[in-house]
């Protein structure tokens, strides 16, 4: 381990190594024993032959403290040799003459080993403590810096949340304005369009005989364009009216009743196309009956409009799923390429252009999507070209507590 904080190096400290080179450590032990010998020799007149190991215990302690347990053992051994040779009777013999001296020698050897080991252990514990304190300090510092970073990130998040809320509020305001604008434009356009329609009809009635074939054809174009424009403005008005579902318009709605009313409304088209419309028994759901009727009407009218060469066959059914009712309207019409399955729910998107025999403004399905989503459901379609299509939509079993307000994506 290597910790460099506060200029402290702990390399090898945990294994009991003091970080000094052996020559210094063992040399210090040698010097300590030599000094102890000199002082003991000088103090001989005071102690005589008593307490021969007294000062050598300090030498062992110093050596162990300075150099570790190796120098401690070395100082112990050197002390025994010196004391045996110089301070125990008979001198210069090393072998003690009395059993008490031999016992002292053995006791000192044990004491020396114990001192060396204990000092070594104590120093290691001390260094371990230092290391842990250092580590603690470092983790504390990194904890503090992560806390600071967290605070900064939190502040950033708070700010972006604030600006998001602000942008959302602005979006809702401009969305509302747009909605009002679309409503008033489509509403106000109706009167002049009706006037143009009426005057072009008058023109045809009064001057048809006076006009040549080209003039009549031009007038017919104008009349047809007026009819298309009228339908477009009417649909646009309808679309702009579906801003949100009023909470009090949500009521227990018998879908069988709703479907019956819708089929009466489009009885003429059903009769004209020779269509066969069948339905399962439908449930009672919590919904806005007027809006639900609009959804059924648009999907059924499309089923009749986008028919193939065969007489149209439409089937309406419903099944209960986890938290909603799933309705479906299936037809045997021309179908469409599934690559456009999402596009068709966008306002003014038509797969069959205005010039084709399928007239329309491209708003019907976007009205359906709006209504279904405002009531907390989803809508999608599955189709095979030349085989037919099925349009699905869901109605929540329990209506949402608050009606969905207009959002940016819905414009």
Q: Which residues make up the interface to ligand ADP (CB under 6 A)? A: 302-303, 306, 331, 333-336, 344, 350-352, 360-366, 389
Q: Supply the minimum distance, in Å, between the C-beta of residue 388 and ligand ADP.
A: 7
Instruction: Pick the closer one to ligand ADP by CB: 335 or 376.
Output: 335
Q: Supply the minimum distance, in Å, between the C-beta of residue 393 and ligand ADP.
A: 13
Q: How far apart are CA 76 and CA 115, in angstroms?
A: 9
Q: Supply the minimum distance, in Å, between the C-beta of residue 346 and ligand ADP.
A: 8
Instruction: Pick the closer one to ligand ADP by CB: 119 or 236.
Output: 236
- For residues 122, 125, 127, 132, the Cα torsion angle rounded to the nearest 10 degrees is -160
The token pair that represents 237 in the structure block:
């008005």
Q: Supply the minimum distance, in Å, between the C-beta of residue 348 and ligand ADP.
A: 8
Q: Supply the minimum distance, in Å, between the C-beta of residue 261 and ligand ADP.
A: 20
Instruction: Pick the closer one to ligand ADP by CB: 33 or 334.
Output: 334
Instruction: Pick the closer one to ligand ADP by CB: 60 or 334.
Output: 334
* Backbone Cα Rg of the chain: 51
Instruction: Pick the closer one to ligand ADP by CB: 149 or 272.
Output: 272
- The dihedrals phi and psi of 106, each to the nearest 5 degrees, come to -65, -45
Q: Supply the minimum distance, in Å, between the C-beta of residue 395 and ligand ADP.
A: 20
Instruction: Pick the closer one to ligand ADP by CB: 101 or 331.
Output: 331
Instruction: Pick the closer one to ligand ADP by CB: 335 or 403.
Output: 335
Which residue has the closest beta carbon to ligand ADP? 360
Q: Supply the minimum distance, in Å, between the C-beta of residue 166 and ligand ADP.
A: 34
């Amino acid at each position: 381990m290597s910790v460099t904080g506060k200029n402290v190096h702990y390399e090898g400290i945990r294994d009991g190594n003091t970080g000094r080179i052996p020559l210094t450590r063992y040399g210090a032990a040698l010097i300590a024993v030599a000094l102890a010998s000199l002082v003991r020799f000088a103090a001989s007149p005071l102690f005589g032959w008593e307490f021969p190991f007294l000062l050598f215990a300090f030498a062992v302690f110093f050596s162990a403290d300075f150099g570790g347990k190796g120098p401690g053992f070395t100082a112990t051994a050197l002390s025994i040799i010196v004391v045996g040779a110089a301070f125990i009777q008979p001198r210069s013999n090393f072998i003690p003459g009395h059993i008490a001296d031999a016992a002292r020698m053995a006791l000192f050897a044990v004491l020396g080993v114990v001192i060396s080991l204990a000092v070594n252990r104590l120093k290691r514990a001390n260094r371990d403590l230092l290391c842990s304190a250092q580590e603690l300090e470092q983790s504390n510092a990194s904890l503090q810096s992560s806390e600071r970073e967290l605070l900064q990130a939190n502040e950033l998040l708070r700010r972006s949340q604030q600006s998001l809320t602000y942008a959302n509020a602005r979006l809702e305001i401009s969305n509302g304005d747009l909605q009002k604008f679309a409503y008033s434009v489509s509403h106000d356009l109706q009167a002049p369009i009706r006037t143009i329609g009426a005057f072009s009809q008058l023109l045809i009635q009064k001057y048809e005989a006076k006009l040549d074939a080209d003039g009549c054809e031009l007038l017919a174009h104008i009349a047809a364009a007026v009819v298309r424009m009228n339908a477009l403005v009417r649909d646009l008005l309808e679309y702009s009216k579906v801003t949100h579902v009023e909470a009090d318009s949500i009521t227990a709605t018998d879908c069988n009743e709703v479907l019956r009313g819708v089929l009466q409304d489009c009885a003429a088209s059903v009769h004209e196309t020779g269509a066969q419309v069948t339905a399962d028994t439908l449930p009672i759901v919590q919904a806005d009956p007027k809006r639900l009727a609009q959804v059924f009407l648009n999907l059924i009218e499309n089923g009749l409009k986008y028919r193939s060469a065969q007489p149209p066959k439409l089937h309406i059914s419903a099944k209960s799923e986890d938290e909603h009712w799933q309705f479906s309207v299936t037809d045997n019409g021309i179908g469409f390429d599934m690559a456009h399955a999402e596009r068709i729910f966008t306002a003014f998107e038509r797969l069959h252009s205005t010039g084709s025999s399928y007239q329309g403004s491209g708003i019907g399905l976007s009205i359906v999507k709006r209504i279904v989503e405002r009531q907390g459901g989803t809508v999608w379609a599955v189709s095979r070209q030349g085989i037919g299509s099925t349009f699905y939509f869901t109605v929540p079993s329990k209506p949402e507590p608050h009606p969905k307000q207009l959002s940016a994506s819905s414009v």
